[in-house]
């Protein structure tokens, strides 16, 4: 199922989360979605950002787009830290296994039902493959509206460069993500990221406090080989199937 938001005309004074997000309008006839399911975003449009979707200009001209490593990092709550590979990042939502094969970075994610991820955009195409579970993906459209599309197990997903997006997990889900051409860079999109942050802090069932990063290092030939074999099995077996589906 896909949801579309029609263009509204009534100017809004606050963002979906009550913060000073720039350049949006409130739909005059609100949708019937319950606010608790995170879809209040469907009542808002961001026409200025919509005109920049998919272009280089969105990274430099939208006041709602925050760079990955801003100069004033201390005052920017949307800063994303560089995550080393191989490593495992954990928080209330689940786990992200960060791995690299040759020059290609691959993340294997486990996410619990009810949580959100992303709220960002990239200068290259993001590719995803769902091994199990169900996901709704929000994407910003060229008219400034938000489109929500359902995906399930064995679906391949392609998010074009410069398109803000959110992953909403309808079920416990295992998926992979990677970027084409290879290379991970992210800018946060404030209207979406504010909702993701709120979800992490309690809407999804957690308190936003339990986080961890386990960096995998060479602790001897036998141990390192075992780690490489486990990650390689996931990458070669599952990613090969995903890329095969994409070429059809």
Is the predicted pLDDT of residue 32 greater than 60, yes or no?
no
Token pair listed for 66: 């925050």
In 3D, which of 129, 127, 126, 133 has the Cα closest to residue 111? Answer: 133
Predicted pLDDT at 1: 40
DSSP character string of the chain: -EE------EEPSS-TTSS--SS-EE-SS--S--GGGTGGGGGEE-HHHHHHTTSTTHHHH-TTEE-SS-SS-TT-TT--PPPPSSEEEEETTEEEEEEEETTEEEEEEEE-TT-EEEEEE-SSEEEEEEEESEEEEEEE-TTS-EEEEEEETT-EEEE-TT--EEEEESS-EEEEEEEESS----EEEHHHHHHHHHIIIIITS--S---EEEE----SHHHHHHHHHHHHHHIIIIIHHHHHHHT-
Domain 65-246 belongs in CATH node 2.40.160.40:
no
> pLDDT (tens digit, 9 = 90+) per residue, 34-91?
444 578 999 999 999 999 999 999 999 999 999 866 554 454 444 455 678 899 999 9
Query: What does the pLDDT read at residue 199?
Result: 93
Q: What average pLDDT does this structure show over 15-39?
A: 57
């Amino acid at each position: 199922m896909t949801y579309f938001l029609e263009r509204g005309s009534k100017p809004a004074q606050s963002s979906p989360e009550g913060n000073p997000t720039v350049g949006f309008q409130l739909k005059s006839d609100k949708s019937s979605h319950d606010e608790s399911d995170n879809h209040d975003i469907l009542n808002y449009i961001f026409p200025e950002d919509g005109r920049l979707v998919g272009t280089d200009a969105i990274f430099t001209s939208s006041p709602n787009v925050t760079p990955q490593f801003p100069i004033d990092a201390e005052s920017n709550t949307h800063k994303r830290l560089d995550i080393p590979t191989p490593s495992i990042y954990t928080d209330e939502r689940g786990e992200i296994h960060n791995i690299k094969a040759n020059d290609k970075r691959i993340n294997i994610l486990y996410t619990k039902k009810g949580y959100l991820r992303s709220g960002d955009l990239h200068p290259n195409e993001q590719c995803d493959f769902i091994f199990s579970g169900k996901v709704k993906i929000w994407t910003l459209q060229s008219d400034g509206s938000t489109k929500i599309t359902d995906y399930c197990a064995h679906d391949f997903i392609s998010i074009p460069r410069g398109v803000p997006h959110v992953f909403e997990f309808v079920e416990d889900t295992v998926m992979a993500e990677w970027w084409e051409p290879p290379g991970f860079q992210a800018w946060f999109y404030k209207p979406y990221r504010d909702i993701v942050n709120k979800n992490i802090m309690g809407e999804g069932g957690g308190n936003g406090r339990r986080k961890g990063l386990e960096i995998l290092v060479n602790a001897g030939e036998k141990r390192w080989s075992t780690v490489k074999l486990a990650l390689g099995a996931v990458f070669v077996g599952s990613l090969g199937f995903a890329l095969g589906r994409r070429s059809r």
